[in-house]
Structure 1
């Protein structure tokens, strides 16, 4: 039951890009700073990086504001920053994803973050982590 779980709140009005989201999310963590890497977010959600033990609620207020802030333009900006470090074997796929974001198509950064979080909650691959996402 979620009534018994600690509630951590992200305020979508407090940031306008991924770096701001990382700062806002890190504000929730005890003794750890998350820097915006989605693989690292996955690790943080598994526990041991300053999140409550035994499950918790992540209440994302003003999530529609965040959906816009972390939309296709910010997705393309993130991909452009990552491009120089992409392995040559994955470069064509990565560049296609970047072009898709530039056209305003495909999943956004908001979609990706939400998917990572939901993977650690009810019905997700890592549901044992017990994270309940509430988009408000």
Structure 2
């Protein structure tokens, strides 16, 4: 079993650091993107307990997600600004996913992982 502890981080960068420590101890690179997080979960077979998940849900909620998309739009290339604008619009309309929900979706897309929110 692997434990992600929401008390160990309060932003996406901190989440990536937590994940890197849990899954990438012996590697010379660290997780730094949503795609990278998804990639390291391939081949993983474990239960993941996300402790203090309510705190993470708040920390990685609407405002942080809005800022995340706005920063990518501001940076432009190499990001698909049109797609990111669409995701921002969906978020603003109440139909988009927060970063927390995106992370949950990524974990749940891996059938060999069982997620327990605590």
TM-score tier by shorter-chain length is: 0.7 to 0.9
Q: Which has the higher contact order (CA 8 A, sep 6+)?
A: 2
State the match for 2:31 in structure 1: 34
**Structure 1 counterpart SS, 2:22:** coil
1:116 aligns with 2:111: no
In 1, distance between residues paired with 2:42 and 2:114? 13
* TM-score, reference length from structure 2: 0.83
**Gapped regions of structure 1 (runs ≥ 5):** 1-6, 48-52, 121-126
* TM-score, reference length from structure 1: 0.73
* Count of residues paired in the alignment: 111
Deviation at 1:93, TM superposition (A): 3.6
Tell me the C-alpha RMSD between the 2 structures.
1.8
**Which of the two has higher C-alpha Rg?**
1
State the match for 1:19 in structure 2: 13
- Taking structure 1 as reference, are residues 59 and 74 closer, same or farther at Cα in structure 2, changes over 3 Å only? same
Shift >6 Å, 4+ stretches: none
Deviation at 1:16, TM superposition (A): 1.0
- Taking structure 1 as reference, are residues 43 and 93 closer, same or farther at Cα in structure 2, changes over 3 Å only? closer
In 2, distance between residues paired with 1:92 and 1:107? 17
State the match for 1:63 in structure 2: 53
